[in-house]
Amino acid sequence: MLRRAAHADERAAATIYVRHAPRMLGVARRVLGNVADAEDVVHDAFMAALAKADETPEERWRLDAFLLVLTRMKALDRYRNRVTRREAPLEEGVADTRPVLENAQARVLRGELQEKLASLPPEQAKVVDLAWRGHTEVEIAAETGEARGTVASRLRLGVARLKRLFGVVAEDAGARSAAGGDGS
Amino acid sequence: MNCREMEERAEAYAFEMLEPEERAACAAHLAEPGAHACQAAVDEARAVLELLLQTAEPARPSDGLWRRVEADVRRRGTEGARAETEGALKTPVAPPATRRSWVARAAPWAGWLVAAVFAAWALLNLLRAPPASGEHGHHEDPGDHAAMLVAPKDAAAKAAANVLSALGALVAEPGARTIALAPSGAPAGPSGAVVLDASAHRGVLIARGLPPIRTGAYNAYLAPASGPAVPVGRLWQLDDEHLGVVLDASALAAGPPARVSVRLYAPSGEGPALLEGAATPGDSLPVKKE
């Protein structure tokens, strides 16, 4: 589908856009805090994905992950190029608050993931949340008033717990992480 | 850096939380030849990150974002040599079957109204035929929206049939009236009209002679007696000369429009009004069907 879109198939492009753009925009908005910048990022990510179409996974869920990661990368580039960081409320610039058409399966998955994320101890959840939004360890330490080592430790513990909750095991990890031997 | 140290930094590395020099050190370690036990830790952390990204609430993009993406997708096709094998680029509105009527030459206004109704009949007959291929089969919900964005041939033909069907019904109604549309700022060029039912709850806008476009779409705009014009829908190609749009009840909920216009909405933005008209008390339908 992405390859067809990359070859100027507008229908394929529109299908990908409708399926993925709202979630890409959701990620970019979480990182950047405003819609105008987030839309620029989604545009850039979409075009970058088309440019890399030949090396992109075709499976739908892999494409979804690829586009979201690419969007986050582009959002971080923009975020870190700002002279000063701006912590804007997420609602800034939102003109259209109608619910987004979302695939039922994706909605269920999102709900489950949010539930698992919410089960983390609050201090770990906070670090994980700031981390995926692109804050560095140094920034999180400054923001939370904790030592950088504490931030790093909370991130490790939080991610280790999420690995177990999400059932994440790297293909070649073997028994190393299957038993959750990460010291958490 | 060794694998043990890298493993301790795997999460921060995968989440891109490290300072540039630390990140470079990690990347250099992973790039060293040989298998790395720490690579699995990085991969797992990345997998967690991918799942975390799924927790972001989706947001509704503006129409302008799609226009930009659409324009760039088209540009890729135009710029690349691929266009040679992919065939001609699709236009946003694929013209349905062409049917020129002799009456169009006889009486400009009556002519195109009758021709439009005739073309509706021809189109409806055409649409009864089975599709040529399975290309336009069932779409799941997001796909339906995608189809709306690019207006594939069958969607355009159905929309055109709807316009002509609505126009045929309006023309048959007693008390229907029109708002004539004239070229904006030019003595000659396109022309058009809005036909409204007696209660002004339904209407159809028909335009003729608008210049052909490759990108974007012609949009209809309605404005109340006081207030700005708002877009109420895109015009669909009815035949090789006419475009039209059904004005739905919500567009007319505030009452009959005081002003009507047609503008080109292209990826580069909204164009000036090409056709404009204002309601006047004496407007009436120039022809009555049957």
Tens-digit pLDDT profile for residues B164-179: 888 878 777 777 788 8
Residue A182 has pLDDT above 80, yes or no: no
Closest-CA distance of chain A to residue B288, Å: 41
- pLDDT at A93 (0 to 100): 47
Residue A97 has pLDDT above 70, yes or no: no
Largest CA distance in chain A: 51
**Are A29 and B59 inside 8 Å of each other by CB?**
yes
**What is the chain A residue with the closest CA to B44?**
A170
- pLDDT at B1 (0 to 100): 80
Of the ranges A72-76, B67-71, B87-91, B281-285, which one carries the lowest mean pLDDT score? B87-91
Average pLDDT on B35-39 reads 79
Closest-CA distance of chain B to residue A157, Å: 10
Interchain contact A27–B (C-beta under 8 A): yes
Residue B11 with chain A: CB contacts under 8 Å: 131, 155-156, 159
Q: Which of A107-116, B39-48, B66-75 has the highest mean predicted lDDT (pLDDT)?
A: B39-48
Average pLDDT, chain A: 77
Band of residue B3 on the pLDDT scale cut at 50, 70, 90 = confident
Greater confidence (A63 vs A48) lies with A48
Interface of A with B in 98-117 (CB under 8 A): 98, 100-103, 106, 109-110, 113-114, 117
What whole-number distance in Å separates Cα of residue B153 and Cα of residue B169?
Answer: 24
What is the model's pTM? 0.52
Show the tokens assigned to A105: 């399966």
Band of residue B37 on the pLDDT scale cut at 50, 70, 90 = confident
Residue B263 has pLDDT above 80, yes or no: yes
What whole-number distance in Å separates Cα of residue A110 and Cα of residue A98?
Answer: 18
Of the ranges A71-85, A170-184, B43-57, B229-243, which one carries the lowest mean pLDDT score? A170-184
Band of residue A100 on the pLDDT scale cut at 50, 70, 90 = low
ipTM for this prediction: 0.79
Of the ranges A102-106, A147-151, A172-176, which one carries the lowest mean pLDDT score? A172-176
**What is the chain A residue with the closest CA to B71?**
A10
Residue A41 has pLDDT above 90, yes or no: yes
Closest-CA distance of chain B to residue A179, Å: 14
Interface of B with A in 90-129 (CB under 8 A): 90
**What is the chain A residue with the closest CA to B86?**
A7
Average pLDDT, chain B: 70
Share of chain B above pLDDT 90, in %: 4
Closest-CA distance of chain A to residue B97, Å: 22
**Are A100 and B60 inside 8 Å of each other by CB?**
yes
Interchain contact B142–A (C-beta under 8 A): yes
Band of residue B236 on the pLDDT scale cut at 50, 70, 90 = confident
What whole-number distance in Å separates Cα of residue A74 and Cα of residue A52?
Answer: 14
Sequence-ordered list of residues with C-beta below 8 angstroms from that of A57, at least 6 positions apart, any chain:
A63, A66
In degrees rounded to 5, what are phi and psi of residue B57? -65, 130
Greater confidence (B105 vs B191) lies with B191
- pLDDT at A132 (0 to 100): 87
Of the ranges A45-54, A78-87, B16-25, B143-152, which one carries the lowest mean pLDDT score? B143-152
pLDDT by residue (tens digit) across A85-95? Answer: 445 444 444 44
Average pLDDT on B55-64 reads 82
Give me the residue from B48, B72, B145 closest to A47, CB to CB: B72
Interface of B with A in 10-69 (CB under 8 A): 11-12, 15-19, 37, 39-41, 43-62, 64-66, 68-69
User: What is the 3 state secondary structure string of B125-173?
Assistant: HHHHCCCCCHHHCCCCHHHHHHHHHHCCHHHHHHHHHHHHHHHHHHHHC
Sequence-ordered list of residues with C-beta below 8 angstroms from that of B82, at least 6 positions apart, any chain:
A7, A8
Show the tokens assigned to B26: 């990690």
Average pLDDT on B131-155 reads 44
Closest-CA distance of chain A to residue B37, Å: 8
Give me the residue from B12, B16, B58 closest to A26, CB to CB: B58
**What is the chain B residue with the closest CA to A51?**
B76
Interchain contact B3–A (C-beta under 8 A): no
Interface of A with B in 143-162 (CB under 8 A): 152, 155-156, 159, 162
Alpha carbons within 13 A on the beta-carbon side of A59: 3
Query: Taking a C-beta distance cutoff of 8 angstroms, is the pair A121, A184 a contact?
Result: no
Band of residue A52 on the pLDDT scale cut at 50, 70, 90 = confident
Give me the residue from B11, B78, B147 closest to A155, CB to CB: B11
